[in-house]
Amino acid sequence: VKWTEGRGWHDAQLTPYAPLSIDPANMTLHYAQEIFEGLKAYRRPDGSVATFRPDANARRFQLSARRLAMPELPVETFIDACDALVQQDKAWVPEHGGEASLYLRPFMFANEVGLGVRPANEYLFIVIASPAGPYFPGGVKPVSVWLSENYVRAVPGGMGFAKTGGNYAASLLAQAEAAAKGCDQVVWLDALEHRTVEEMGGMNLYFVYGDKIVTPELTGSLLAGITRDSLLSLARDLGYESAEGRITTDQWKRDTENGSLTEVFACGTAAVITPVGTVKSTGGEWTQSNGEPGKVTMELRKALLDIQTGKAEDKHGWMHELG
């Protein structure tokens, strides 16, 4: 779908996958006016296909668009485009039974040629798809994390809450630092004091205190994950208390050592839920749940996947069925 100043959205098309031809002066290449989303389509026991909360992705896409001075795509247009692609590629949605899915990548970028810094007058919205295998083919394994103090992902007033390529470009060096420390993932801290926990590379974090789960509050500099939001409700359905709050790195270490913080996990569209094992930081190193996936973590993981794959009742109306 195309957006042109004065004309709005027009020319929706379903076309075979093919390279785009880009002018060297395309404004996106220079000024990064680009946003994207990620969501999955799952096969259900009866063979039908459904996507998980595409309306939530559509609304987050609008928030991202507003932050990057781009036009907002109507929620229905976003969902219709995803639906049309999934219908077309239905054969690529993996069989019911595992955790495999068809991953959808909607994105929008400035499509105007020019070298001046200003919002573009033309944009393209495109959705592509790719089959995604199970995130953990050999069984769920805890990830090790590095608490980054040298780099920040986003600053107050910045673009942290938007899903834009620049945030991911900013994370690459920190991810390399985490790898050099022997860790799988970087954990982002607040920009000013490097004390408050924000999120992981491409996932949000949850802290399990017995039967209460807490996730970092939305400060404006972390992404409002749709999995994160879903778990606030799902945990309550399962009898846990759930809350948003502020967790500092000192507290993380102290509460693990005194036994009150029983598990930590990360959540996002890609891995659904991933246990956190070893934590490394300038303030020391410690391990959650003896390096094993925690009980609450795995219970929530199963509950969410069961809804997504159609094995459990969808009480919240999260699944968007395509037939």
Point out which residues bind ligand PMP (CB under 6 A). Answer: 38, 199, 202-204, 223, 225-228, 268-269
Pairwise CA distance, residues 257 & 263, whole Å: 12
| Crossing angle of the two packed helices 226-237 and 295-308, in degrees rounded to 10 | 110
Pairwise CA distance, residues 211 & 224, whole Å: 23
Q: Nearer to ligand PMP by C-beta: 74 or 202?
A: 202
Neighbours of 200 (CB within 10 A): 26
Q: Nearer to ligand PMP by C-beta: 101 or 204?
A: 204
Q: Nearer to ligand PMP by C-beta: 94 or 202?
A: 202
Q: Nearer to ligand PMP by C-beta: 120 or 235?
A: 235
* Residue 11 beta carbon to ligand PMP: minimum distance, rounded to whole angstroms: 28
Taking CA atoms, 154 is separated from 16, 122, 162, in Å, by 36, 27, 10
* Residue 215 beta carbon to ligand PMP: minimum distance, rounded to whole angstroms: 11
Q: Nearer to ligand PMP by C-beta: 50 or 226?
A: 226
* Residue 269 beta carbon to ligand PMP: minimum distance, rounded to whole angstroms: 3
Q: Which two tokens stand for residue 107?
A: 């994105």
* Residue 228 beta carbon to ligand PMP: minimum distance, rounded to whole angstroms: 6
Q: Which amino acid is at 127?
A: V
Pairwise CA distance, residues 78 & 73, whole Å: 7
Q: Nearer to ligand PMP by C-beta: 85 or 159?
A: 159
* Residue 202 beta carbon to ligand PMP: minimum distance, rounded to whole angstroms: 4
Considering only CA atoms, which of 11, 238, 47 is closest in space to residue 126? 11
Pairwise CA distance, residues 308 & 302, whole Å: 10
Q: Nearer to ligand PMP by C-beta: 43 or 228?
A: 228
* Residue 108 beta carbon to ligand PMP: minimum distance, rounded to whole angstroms: 15
Pairwise CA distance, residues 259 & 82, whole Å: 45
Residue that the structure tokens 């404004």 belong to: 27
169, 220 in Cβ contact below 8 A? no
Collapsing DSSP to helix, strand or coil, 239 comes out as coil
* Residue 225 beta carbon to ligand PMP: minimum distance, rounded to whole angstroms: 3
Pairwise CA distance, residues 303 & 295, whole Å: 12
The secondary structure element, H or E, covering residue 81 is helix 75-88
Q: Nearer to ligand PMP by C-beta: 228 or 253?
A: 228
* Residue 270 beta carbon to ligand PMP: minimum distance, rounded to whole angstroms: 7
Q: Which two tokens stand for residue 190?
A: 């607040």
Q: Which amino acid is at 32?
A: A
Q: Which two tokens stand for residue 176?
A: 């390399």
Q: Nearer to ligand PMP by C-beta: 204 or 262?
A: 204
The secondary structure element, H or E, covering residue 43 is strand 39-43
Residue 71 CA neighbour count, 13 Å, CB half:
22
* Residue 222 beta carbon to ligand PMP: minimum distance, rounded to whole angstroms: 7
